[in-house]
Structure 1
Amino acid sequence: MSAIRFEKDADNIVTLVLDNPGQSANTMNADFRAAFEEVVVRIEAEQADISGIVLTSAKSTFFAGGDLNELISVAEAAPFYEMVNRLKAGMRRLETLGKPMVAAINGAALGGGWELALACHHRICLDSPKVSIGLPEVTLGLLPGGGGVVRMVRLLGLEKALPYLMEGKQVKPEAALKAGLVHELVASPEELVSRAKEWVKANPKAQQPWDEKGYRLPGGTPSSPHVFQMLSIAPSMLRQKTKGCFPAPEKILAAAVEGAQVDFDNACLIESRYFTELVMSPVAKNMINTFWFQLNHIKAGGSRPDGFAPSQTHKVGVIGAGMMGAGIAYQCAISGIDVVLKDVALESATKGKSYSEGLLAKRVARGSMTQQKMDEVLARIQATDNSGDFAGCDLIIEAVFEDRALKAQVTREAESICNPDALIASNTSTLPITGLAEAVPDPSRFIGLHFFSPVDKMPLVEIICGEKTSDEVLAKAFDFVLQIRKTPIVVNDSRGFFTSRVFGTFTNEGIAMLGEGVEPALIEKEAVKAGMPVGPLAISDEVSMSLMKHIRAQTESDLAAEGKVMPAHPAIAVIDTMVDQLKRPGRAAGAGFYDYPEGGKKRLWSGLKEQFVRSEQQISRQDVRDRLLFIQAIETVRCLEEKVLRSVPDANIGSIFGIGFAAWSGGALQFINQYGLASFVDRARYLSEQYGERFEPPALLQEMAASGHRFE
């Protein structure tokens, strides 16, 4: 069965129906390419008896784009480059055949799907919220390699095309019509093909704008004064954004600008060369593996226990209306769930609700939400100081200060009032769930739901299972996280779980380097160059070193009760000095590693040099970067070794979405894969010899390196 059905009507209009056999979506796989080549040859041979072409789909989506299974496994550049050019040549032959060609877009047209549509002379789109149009390749470390760069630039001009190309911007039908991406909208799928055929009959000599005599690039060529001015600053602005870690946006800019200065066919060759270079790069393979395959594995329930029917949460009780509790309440309410937001004082609870009001008001101001919708969302949040309002809740989330006794008190009170089968959850970031579960009569109903701040922006929720948490409760918690449009990872109980443990190694390593005498600016800059969103000193200020001290004290107390001693770390002395002697605990206090001048930009505190820096103690930039990334990757392996982590996808997605591990690497374990396990072990041993035994590679890592295995 062919991936493209060839259907010709009495008016000699050919409808090409895209229908990849055995797939839920059409992709540019080998079957499609073979079918497309046959169709092009047939249309060319029968062109005298063809009046036009309509391109449509038998699937619920129009076309999903490239086959990522193929792309991630490409090993040789030359044959791949030739294959891409053959496919693009076929699209170009149809485009210039002299027959009108219309794309009848019935569903999502992303990546290669949108590139097929762009090769048509006219584009008609179903006006449905389920339809998205765009070129998201950059989010996977790629560029649109099927003519997308060339045609988008020629359709919109450089300035308007670049956001779609470099940011992966996607739009709905109405916005696509307004932007000039599609020409018409229709209300029903039945109208698509009939309207397309009408257009074919009315436009027998259709051409692409760029093939018409006298065509000029919209907005001007790269040498036009306005465009030249924009392009003169674009590379430096782009470098500021990518820090040199993501090659795709840079290659897209190059392909777009270079392609705009040559004819169409040579522009396509330029695009193919950059596309091939990116496909062969480790960054693209890392990102495809993690952001496509592993993320989809998680969202499809890869970490959810089998055997339990899907569940819906209807009413959530949130204890604590601070920044975190308020954020959780907002996320629940905007997802359609009723929320009881409780604090010790009604004034505090009302202030927590106002956080949601502020976020929603911004949406209304942007035009992305109506006032009516905002009022509906706010009506779902009940601010209260009365625990009795937890009656009827099927989920309780405690989000108070990291104090074991306080958490136990408020949890016990809420549990006695909510539904008897309700899930009881703690938003703790460090305290073991098994111990917190002792506050309720049935520990099997207790689970950890670790949100990240700000909740409305951070995509991850870390689900932590205590020793007695039941699989049914885990399944319900997993469903809840998906219900509020977050990505769940599942881990087992441990002090700090996975994300906080690894995050702590990052901040501590940066602080330890400062204590050794390394320049603070070097630490911060190299962290960002390594791919971290912010330096360890800056993020320590945000977290607050006072909180770090409090968590350490709680940990020391808990371990002492177990007859254990907390391991020493060189960062401890620096933190104590900053908090106790220098009275600079962090941003909330107005002073930490950074100064925070009122109305001005934060800057590293000049006193750090006098207090800590020693000129003879400077280390190489590479050592700074490696220490910050390696320590996180090593701790991730320890979490896997100790069975805290349950899967590699949870590790990679959690490290990126939860703590901002270098996204170009594909996550903490994929970072080790792409480095090479044997090479990583060697480098870790060097770091251990130079900077401390905390870099010593775990036994699991050594065993895998010796046997030639990878983290998969």
Structure 2
Amino acid sequence: MAIHYERDAEGVVTLTLDMSGSANVMNAEYHEAMGAAVARLEAERDDIAGVVLTSAKKTFFAGGDLNLLITLTPENAGEALGFLEDVKRQLRRLELLGKPVVAAINGSALGGGFEIALACHHRVVLDDDRIRLGLPEVTLGLLPGGGGVTRLVRLLGVQPALPLLMEGKQLRPARALQAGLVHALASSEEDLVERARAWIRANPEPRQPWDEPGYAVPDVRFGDPAVYGLLAAAPAVLRKKTHGAYPAPERVLAAAVEGALVDFDTALEVEGRYFLELATGQVAKNMISTFWFQLNAITAGGSRPADVPASKVTRLGVLGAGMMGSGIAEVSAKAGIEVVLKDVTPEAAERGAKGLPGITPTDSDADLAGCDLVIEAVFEDRALKNRVLPAAESAALPDAVIASNTSTLPITGLAEAVADPARFIGLHFFSPVPKMRLVEIIRGERTSDEALARAFDYVLQIGKTPIVVNDSRGFYTSRTFGAYVTEAVSMVAEGVSPALIENVARRAGMAVGPLAVSDEVTLTLQLKIRDQALADDPSAAGALGDHPAFAVLEELVAEGRTGRSGGGGFYEYPEGGKKFLWPGLARYARDDAGVTERDVEDRLLFVQSLETLRCLDEGVLTSVGDANVGSVLGFGFPAWSGGTLQFIVSYGLGAFVERADYLADTYGERFRPPASLRERAARGEPF
């Protein structure tokens, strides 16, 4: 049985969730089993003292069955609504049983799993920091549709519930207790069960707070003028954050507020209809596809050589104690790895180590002895990298993996500096390292399967998400990100308003405007990358040398405007004030630039998707999931789209080709879609 039903001598029934497969999910199997269990509880009510709901799995309950959710369409929405309403009716019958029902949460309870727990009168959770509790549906373009919005709002009030619902926060047990999501922590599995049973004995006839006579949501009462300010301001505040690109937070807000103003059962209906609106929409399909199925495939090792045994790094050497190197050292030390951080002077190394435990600062290669992984994170200069890599390789363990954190320089070329190129690989981190989830692993022409597998395992060990790409200049992320930034600067050169470019990019869902991010990476770096590319491949002189974007960058750098770290670039950075676009950019503005807002948005998004297609065609990318996940986590492509390739799918392959041809005819051949996409569109074959 998917739910084991066991009644003991005291009349306490334990319902143990144990569905087929590795996790409990809210599907037809669950629906049938919970229906049977609730019916039996009702039939045996007079002989029951209470109910303990727990799990036989590592997790308590994983949530909705996303294999089913991704198939929802407006055409089958009616059937899905019926299923959803019946699931909620079962939980409603459970909480109205007239007997105490306790959730004994022995593993993570997220989404539908936490909705089940909310329908219980009392929640006890094992005090284990690996456990996560919450309603993260919004991160997949959805809202909690199994009663989660309705119950959480009534439990906490609208204002405390909204951040948890609209940001999809996942809380550890102690924080969940503090927030009022659970009632007690248990020190062990035995304590968990005993606390559940003790509460049942002490509370023979409990009611949910919202079922008490005269109950009202704590902070939203119909007709209360104190509430009007919140209700008036909240949509505007939200729109400022989402720019209208993310429907889920908006529907969460609507379901929460509207549900608070009606009775409980009507609130469940309101929640269910908003849920189905989202579940049948394209944004949820984009986000579920990428951030569930593709991301899970990546972390399960989809791009890792399968025949290499799993490994862990025990001692890591990091070369360069600047912002990137110190960030790599920090996240590695926090993951329990012994770290040696080397720089040219002891003082520089100590500054980078920041006094954090587990990091040994040094200026000596000899201290790299015993390292099974070395990551070079010095400046993006081939000659400098060629000097530090061989010395580190000779000092580390004979079979140590040697990696470079380069963001653009081809790995195969850098590998010439080391004695054993088979052990050399690229590990491209993103800034700031502690916050950014992605690491791009670059396989050189001679990188071995063992080195790749060990690098992959290390990335997972430090809690990051690895994507694997093959070698080329700029690899995948820097190439595609570079296309985005360069396109924006090209538009400045054409006379498009810089403010329009920045606002349209943010409205489209890009994490940061392209001119702002140019300042962050520095304008000089973009020119250095161009110059290095020309030095390595003089045949690129036509494409790179004549590009209007580089003329703008050269002019600004010549005037000392090198970016944020240099005091100013496209933006001014007043001390103690907010940055603003440099008024001097007005020199480039033209009233007759003739680029519409729609063209600005499409140029910024299409140029990234088209560069991704080229990476796929060239074999730099070998996985659609790596492309999509890498684009969102690495360079901030809009999450609502599901990534650069999913953006093409949701746009419609044929429509994308047609629009790209228009952009190519109007703005240049860089927008011409490759033959591979035309053929795919003709076959009607999505990625």
Q: TM-score range with shorter-chain normalisation?
A: over 0.9
Structure 1 residues 12 and 383, CA, compared in 2 at 3 Å: closer, same or farther? closer
Deviations 1:558-588 (A, max 9, x none): 102x8986544331222122222x3322112
For 2:102 and 2:341, locate their aligned partners in 1 and report how far apart those are by CA, in whole Å: 53
Instruction: Decide which moves more: 334-343 or 261-270.
Output: 334-343
Structure 1 residues 547 and 195, CA, compared in 2 at 3 Å: closer, same or farther? closer
Deviations 1:563-617 (A, max 9, x none): 986544331222122222x3322112212111112221111111212x1110011
* 3-state secondary structure, aligned to 1:383: strand
Which residue in 1 is equivalent to 2:494? 516
Alignment of 1:118-133 (within 5 A): 118-133=118-133
1:504 to 475, 479, 482: 482
Deviation at 1:186, TM superposition (A): 2.4
Which residue in 1 is equivalent to 2:505? 527
Is the contact made by 2:484 and 2:607 (CA closer than 8 Å) also made in structure 1? yes
Deviation at 1:178, TM superposition (A): 2.8
Which residue in 2 is equivalent to 1:11? 10
1:39 to 30, 34, 37: 37
Which residue in 2 is equivalent to 1:251? 251
User: Partner letter of residue 323 of structure 1?
Assistant: M
Deviation at 1:223, TM superposition (A): 4.7
1:277 corresponds to 2:255: no
Instruction: Decide which moves more: 181-190 or 533-542.
Output: 181-190
1:552 corresponds to 2:530: yes
Which residue in 1 is equivalent to 2:261? 261
Which residue in 2 is equivalent to 1:688? 664
Which residue in 2 is equivalent to 1:366? none
Is the contact made by 2:220 and 2:261 (CA closer than 8 Å) also made in structure 1? no
Gapped runs of 5+ residues in structure 1? 358-377
For 2:10 and 2:48, locate their aligned partners in 1 and report how far apart those are by CA, in whole Å: 8
Is the contact made by 1:159 and 1:227 (CA closer than 8 Å) also made in structure 2? no
Deviations 1:138-196 (A, max 9, x none): 11111111101111111111111112211112222223233332223322212433443
2:572 to 576, 595, 603: 595
Which residue in 1 is equivalent to 2:634? 658
Alignment of 1:390-539 (within 5 A): 390-539=368-517
* 3-state secondary structure, aligned to 2:15: strand
Deviation at 1:202, TM superposition (A): 3.1
For 1:613 and 1:105, locate their aligned partners in 2 and report how far apart those are by CA, in whole Å: 60
For 2:561 and 2:424, locate their aligned partners in 1 and report how far apart those are by CA, in whole Å: 37
User: Partner letter of residue 597 of structure 1?
Assistant: P
Structure 1 residues 565 and 311, CA, compared in 2 at 3 Å: closer, same or farther? farther
Number of corresponding residues: 684
User: Partner letter of residue 40 of structure 2?
Assistant: R
* 3-state secondary structure, aligned to 1:615: coil
For 1:333 and 1:124, locate their aligned partners in 2 and report how far apart those are by CA, in whole Å: 33
User: Partner letter of residue 390 of structure 2?
Assistant: R
Sequence identity of aligned pairs in percent? 61
* 3-state secondary structure, aligned to 2:592: helix
For 1:400 and 1:166, locate their aligned partners in 2 and report how far apart those are by CA, in whole Å: 40
User: Partner letter of residue 524 of structure 2?
Assistant: S
For 2:516 and 2:496, locate their aligned partners in 1 and report how far apart those are by CA, in whole Å: 15
1:541 corresponds to 2:539: no
Which residue in 2 is equivalent to 1:372? none
* 3-state secondary structure, aligned to 2:196: helix
- The alignment's TM-score, normalised by the length of structure 2, stands at 0.97
For 1:588 and 1:192, locate their aligned partners in 2 and report how far apart those are by CA, in whole Å: 53
* 3-state secondary structure, aligned to 2:34: helix
Is the contact made by 2:101 and 2:200 (CA closer than 8 Å) also made in structure 1? yes
Is the contact made by 1:150 and 1:256 (CA closer than 8 Å) also made in structure 2? yes
For 1:594 and 1:198, locate their aligned partners in 2 and report how far apart those are by CA, in whole Å: 62
* 3-state secondary structure, aligned to 2:375: strand
1:669 to 645, 656, 661: 645
* 3-state secondary structure, aligned to 1:579: helix
Structure 1 residues 497 and 249, CA, compared in 2 at 3 Å: closer, same or farther? same
Is the contact made by 2:101 and 2:121 (CA closer than 8 Å) also made in structure 1? yes
* 3-state secondary structure, aligned to 1:448: strand
Is the contact made by 1:519 and 1:618 (CA closer than 8 Å) also made in structure 2? no
For 2:205 and 2:526, locate their aligned partners in 1 and report how far apart those are by CA, in whole Å: 71
Gapped runs of 5+ residues in structure 2? none
- The alignment's TM-score, normalised by the length of structure 1, stands at 0.93
Deviation at 1:346, TM superposition (A): 2.0
Deviation at 1:198, TM superposition (A): 3.6
Structure 1 residues 343 and 202, CA, compared in 2 at 3 Å: closer, same or farther? closer
Is the contact made by 2:627 and 2:643 (CA closer than 8 Å) also made in structure 1? yes
Which residue in 2 is equivalent to 1:312? 312
Deviation at 1:379, TM superposition (A): 3.6
Deviations 1:205-232 (A, max 9, x none): 2111111112232234265454433333
User: Partner letter of residue 595 of structure 1?
Assistant: E
Is the contact made by 2:324 and 2:433 (CA closer than 8 Å) also made in structure 1? yes
Structure 1 residues 588 and 193, CA, compared in 2 at 3 Å: closer, same or farther? closer
For 2:187 and 2:79, locate their aligned partners in 1 and report how far apart those are by CA, in whole Å: 43
Which residue in 2 is equivalent to 1:360? none
* 3-state secondary structure, aligned to 1:617: coil
Structure 1 residues 621 and 353, CA, compared in 2 at 3 Å: closer, same or farther? same
Alignment of 1:173-184 (within 5 A): 173-184=173-184
Is the contact made by 1:222 and 1:228 (CA closer than 8 Å) also made in structure 2? no
Is the contact made by 1:99 and 1:206 (CA closer than 8 Å) also made in structure 2? yes
Which residue in 2 is equivalent to 1:631? 607
Deviation at 1:64, TM superposition (A): 1.1
1:203 corresponds to 2:180: no
For 1:566 and 1:556, locate their aligned partners in 2 and report how far apart those are by CA, in whole Å: 10
For 2:349 and 2:186, locate their aligned partners in 1 and report how far apart those are by CA, in whole Å: 47
For 1:192 and 1:446, locate their aligned partners in 2 and report how far apart those are by CA, in whole Å: 49
Is the contact made by 1:559 and 1:565 (CA closer than 8 Å) also made in structure 2? no
Is the contact made by 1:315 and 1:393 (CA closer than 8 Å) also made in structure 2? yes
Deviation at 1:654, TM superposition (A): 0.7
Structure 1 residues 503 and 563, CA, compared in 2 at 3 Å: closer, same or farther? closer
Deviation at 1:62, TM superposition (A): 1.3
1:604 corresponds to 2:581: yes
Is the contact made by 2:220 and 2:260 (CA closer than 8 Å) also made in structure 1? no
For 2:214 and 2:381, locate their aligned partners in 1 and report how far apart those are by CA, in whole Å: 73
For 2:222 and 2:386, locate their aligned partners in 1 and report how far apart those are by CA, in whole Å: 64
Deviation at 1:7, TM superposition (A): 2.0
Structure 1 residues 13 and 353, CA, compared in 2 at 3 Å: closer, same or farther? closer
Deviation at 1:200, TM superposition (A): 2.6
Deviations 1:290-311 (A, max 9, x none): 1111111111111100111111
Deviation at 1:116, TM superposition (A): 0.8
User: Partner letter of residue 278 of structure 1?
Assistant: L
Is the contact made by 2:258 and 2:267 (CA closer than 8 Å) also made in structure 1? yes
For 2:55 and 2:39, locate their aligned partners in 1 and report how far apart those are by CA, in whole Å: 20
Which residue in 2 is equivalent to 1:570? 548
Which residue in 1 is equivalent to 2:622? 646
